[in-house]
Amino acid sequence: MSEVTLAQALNGALDTALEADERVILLGEDIGRTGGVFRITDGLQEKHGEHRVFDTPVAESGIVGAAFGMAIAGLRPVAEIQFLGFSYPAYDQIINHVARIRNRSNHRFTAPLVIRVPFGGGIGAAEHHSESTEAIYAHIPGLKVVVPSTPSDARGLLLAAIEDPDPVLFLEPIRLYRAVKEEVAELYYTTDIGPVRVEREGGDITLISWGAMIKETRAAASLLEEAGTSVEVLDLRTLSPLDHDGIVASAKKTGRVVVVHEAPRTGGLGAEIAAVIQEQALYSLLAPVRRVTGLDTVFPLKRSEAHYLPSVDRIVKAAEETLEG
Amino acid sequence: MFSLIGPDGTVRDRLPITLEEMRGLYADMVEARTYDHKCMAMQRQGRLATYAPFEGQEAAQIGAAAALRPDDWVAGTYRDAALMWRAGYPWRLLIAGRTGDERGGQPPEGVNVLPPSITVGGHMIHAVGLAWAESLKGTDRVALTSFGDGATSEGDFHEAMNFAAVFNTPTVFLCQNNGFAISLPRAEQTLSESIASKADGYGMAGAQVDGNDVAAVLCVVRDALETARSGGGPTLIEAVTYRVGPHTTSDDPTRYRDEDETAGWRERDPLERVRLLLDRAGGWTQEWQTELEEVASRRIEEAVAEAEALPQPTVEEMIRRMYEEPTGPLRAQLDEAGQ
């Protein structure tokens, strides 16, 4: 066991996967020589060879389309797209082919590939580098969408995604890459795709979040606890398929739920979560489900980021209103 | 443009194909045309969904498929039924697909032919990935992708060609330039002198062949496959042909093209030239022709009967096709939809 960042945990998981399974190959822009724009693949080409880790031309559709063909032919490709805002040229490949080939071929051909994509804002990046458009992927049947927020989940979920017989979009919270440290076992282990992680158990209110917003949600929970409220925090970890049972169990237990996400509010996953709760736990609710989200604006540039990102204060305020309601 | 057999059936060069092989290619083209006509008729009877006929393109498809090894990969389009069939995909499944049944998308084990891509151009890069994987695995399998002239304007054509060249994947790109992308003529699709010449920009070999000449297509594709198989990299082949039918059963070609032009292409029919050649060589009789047509009709009718006899698909099958194991939300929806 050693203490590692989320970025190091991902690097270690990829290293382990390359070591454990000769079908695993990595491809993407600048992932070989330089180790990727966030250095997640640092040293892997040197260690595993140019026949396992490929620097590709700048072409997201090409990267995903080629990975798709490789997966059909029996490999386990892990493709990297540099930022979620750069994934849209590959959207056609993802929704029209990757997510559909099992259905189109009645299980004869499958696409067990992983598409790793850094996502989210808060680092003062240029336009298109801070997107949280996970809902447009979670909406697509045939795809799984996973978001770790801790180093040990990052390792376990990435290894699970690589093993998964179906395609997985693996979203990596940029803001947490080097902001969290945790002891992570260097063993080969997987974390189940699907179930929520109960980050903190409590009885008065449930805060649900994922990815980088877990940080603010956790801080808000601590403040609320200091004021005497017992807070349950769920880290969703898997956005598709949603863990209805895990969400509903917590909603029934506390009767009060706030969903926190960085993505714009309209059509965001908070709406889906609220809908699931009202369908399955309405009579346990003591207050309306509230959402604390990004605004329905383009993700702003550096000087306006604080206007956009849900803050600890906004989460606490929404929780207090929910506790009153 | 490379060609071996002229429209009048005369051989322009020494034919590197035996008479028996030519008879086999002819029989395959007759069977493919029988299928095509049957599907057009069935669509008119309301038994098939929209159908995209390939009449006029039999030589390009049968010639290319005849060059493949049975374990090679094929990624084609909705107009490639003849190619897919000759590569091992049964007629009954092609028909099942057109009746609106996903089970038609499942070729038998060992047949490495992907179900057709309906969106234009996105599948070419799949053949790059398939071929790339095979070379990484150390096999000598090749992937052939077929597409039309319109697809060469898609961005994915560029990405596929570039990746194939950069990574030297054993991929053969077969463009069936059939003159039109629905209504847009080839001359307005690209100002390139030819589609084959686009290969130059990628550092890739390119070849243009008479797509209505089954022998020429077979030879050119065979060479390209051999080059790919032996590590020589990808090739772009432009088979110049013509879609004598409509784009699909929903299309009216009189709105965008001159019927005289179509009539001119009918004179260059891919089947008739081989029939003339075989007749001259003593390899064709009317009795044989009748027998071929009867056998083809019987096979297609059997395939239709099998496709139409498939039991009604269930909601459970539909839900189970999304993932290896149904997700929690899908299991709940199965309960809901099943009631």
Identify whether A189 is part of a domain.
Answer: no
Cβ distance of B133 and A75 shorter than 8 Å:
yes
Identify whether B245 is part of a domain.
Answer: yes
Same domain, A258 and A164: no
Cβ distance of B129 and A51 shorter than 8 Å:
no
Same domain, A133 and A206: no
How confident is the model over B247-281, as pLDDT tens digits? 999 999 999 999 999 999 999 999 999 999 999 99
Q: Which two tokens stand for residue B176?
A: 């069936």
Same domain, A172 and A218: no
Cβ distance of B162 and A109 shorter than 8 Å:
no
Q: What DSSP element (H or E) covers A294?
A: strand A290-294
CATH of the domain at B76: 3.40.50.970
User: Which residues does B241 contact at the CB level (< 8 Å), separation at least 6?
Assistant: B56, B57, B59, B60, B176, B177, B178, B179, B211, B212, B270
User: Which residues does B265 contact at the CB level (< 8 Å), separation at least 6?
Assistant: B56, B179, B242, B244
Distance, CA of B248 to CA of A193 (rounded, Å): 43
pTM of the predicted model as reported, rounded to 2 decimal places: 0.97
Give the three-state DSSP class for B70. coil
Does B138 lie at the interface with A, CB-CB under 8 angstroms?
A: no
Same domain, A152 and A23: yes
Same domain, A50 and A177: yes
Same domain, A212 and A178: no
Distance, CA of B42 to CA of A187 (rounded, Å): 59
Residue with tokens 């493709």, as numbered in its chain: A79
Catalytic sites of A, residue numbers = 129
Same domain, B86 and B134: yes
Which of A155, A184, A213 is the C-terminal boundary of a domain? Answer: A184
Instruction: Report the pLDDT value the prediction gives residue A2, as an integer from 0 to 100.
Output: 81
DSSP string across B106-175: -PPTT--BPPPB-SSSTTHHHHHHHHHHHHHHT----EEEEEETGGGGSHHHHHHHHHHHHTT--EEEEE
Identify whether B8 is part of a domain.
Answer: no
Give the three-state DSSP class for A200. strand
Give the three-state DSSP class for A318. helix
Identify whether A171 is part of a domain.
Answer: yes
* pLDDT mean over B79-102: 98
Does B107 lie at the interface with A, CB-CB under 8 angstroms?
A: yes
Distance, CA of A171 to CA of A167 (rounded, Å): 13
DSSP string across A73-119: TT-EEEEE-S-GGG-GGGHHHIIIIITTHHHHTTTSS----EEEEEE
Cβ distance of A104 and B163 shorter than 8 Å:
no
How confident is the model over B122-152, as pLDDT tens digits? 999 999 999 999 999 999 999 999 999 999 9
Identify whether A117 is part of a domain.
Answer: yes
Same domain, B214 and B318: no
Identify whether B36 is part of a domain.
Answer: yes
Distance, CA of A166 to CA of A46 (rounded, Å): 29
C-beta of residue A174 within 8 angstroms of C-beta of residue A212? yes
Same domain, B202 and B319: no
Residue B256 annotated to the active site = yes
Q: How close B268 gets to chain A, by Cα (Å)?
A: 36
How far is residue B120 from each of residues A93, A118, B40, B156, B252, measured CA to CA in Å? 12, 29, 22, 9, 20
Q: How close B166 gets to chain A, by Cα (Å)?
A: 8
CATH of the domain at A153: 3.40.50.970
Same domain, A220 and A320: yes
Give the three-state DSSP class for B303. helix
Same domain, B94 and B108: yes
- With CA atoms as reference, the chain B residue closest to A51 would be B136
Question: Domain range spanning residue A264?
Answer: 197-324
Identify from A24, A61, A140, A279 which residue to disrupt to test chain B contact, counting B C-beta atoms within 10 A and taking the largest count.
Answer: A61
Instruction: Report the pLDDT value the prediction gives residue A194, as an integer from 0 to 100.
Output: 98
Same domain, A164 and A204: no
Does B105 lie at the interface with A, CB-CB under 8 angstroms?
A: yes
pLDDT at B13 over 80: no
Query: What's the domain count of chain B?
Result: 2
Distance, CA of B130 to CA of B141 (rounded, Å): 9
Same domain, B217 and B338: no
Closest CA to B66 of B52, B83, B80: B83
Q: How close A75 gets to chain B, by Cα (Å)?
A: 7
Does B246 lie at the interface with A, CB-CB under 8 angstroms?
A: no
Same domain, B105 and B254: yes
Identify whether A191 is part of a domain.
Answer: no
Same domain, A208 and A230: yes
Question: Domain range spanning residue B325?
Answer: 314-339
Who among A75, A105, A194 is closest to B105 (CB)? A105
Cβ distance of A65 and B166 shorter than 8 Å:
no
Instruction: Report the pLDDT value the prediction gives residue B339, as an integer from 0 to 100.
Output: 59
Instruction: Report the pLDDT value the prediction gives residue A238, as an integer from 0 to 100.
Output: 98
Q: Which two tokens stand for residue A42?
A: 């640092």
β-pair partners for B172: B144, B235
ipTM comes to: 0.97
Query: What's the domain count of chain A?
Result: 2
Which residues on B lie below 8 Å from A91 (Cβ)? none
Does B96 lie at the interface with A, CB-CB under 8 angstroms?
A: no
Identify whether A192 is part of a domain.
Answer: no
Same domain, B161 and B276: yes
Distance, CA of B226 to CA of A153 (rounded, Å): 47
* pLDDT mean over B193-211: 98
Same domain, A106 and A205: no
Give the three-state DSSP class for A174. helix
Q: Give the alpha-carbon dihedral of A140, B318, A190, A66, to 10 degrees.
A: -60
Burial class for A307, CB neighbours closer than 10 Å (0-12, 13-18, 19+)? exposed
Instruction: Give Rg (Cα) of chain B.
Output: 20
Touching A: B residues 9-48, CB under 8 Å: none
Count of other CB atoms within 10 angstroms of residue B67: 23
Q: How close B102 gets to chain A, by Cα (Å)?
A: 6
Touching A: B residues 153-192, CB under 8 Å: 155-156, 159-160, 162-163, 166-167
Cβ distance of B324 and A165 shorter than 8 Å:
yes
Q: What DSSP element (H or E) covers B177?
A: strand B171-177
Cβ-Cβ pairs closer than 8 A, A with B, add up to 140
Same domain, A259 and A121: no
Same domain, A177 and A223: no
pLDDT at B338 over 80: no
CATH of the domain at A211: 3.40.50.920
- With CA atoms as reference, the chain B residue closest to A165 would be B324
Instruction: Give, to the nearest 10 degrees, the angle between helix B91-99 and helix B286-308.
Output: 50
| Residue ranges, chain A, pLDDT below 70 | none
Which of A132, A150, A184 is the C-terminal boundary of a domain? Answer: A184
Cβ distance of B322 and A244 shorter than 8 Å:
no
Q: What do you get for the CA distance between the two ends of chain B, in Å?
A: 62
Same domain, B328 and B261: no
Same domain, B321 and B304: no
Residue with tokens 């997201």, as numbered in its chain: A60
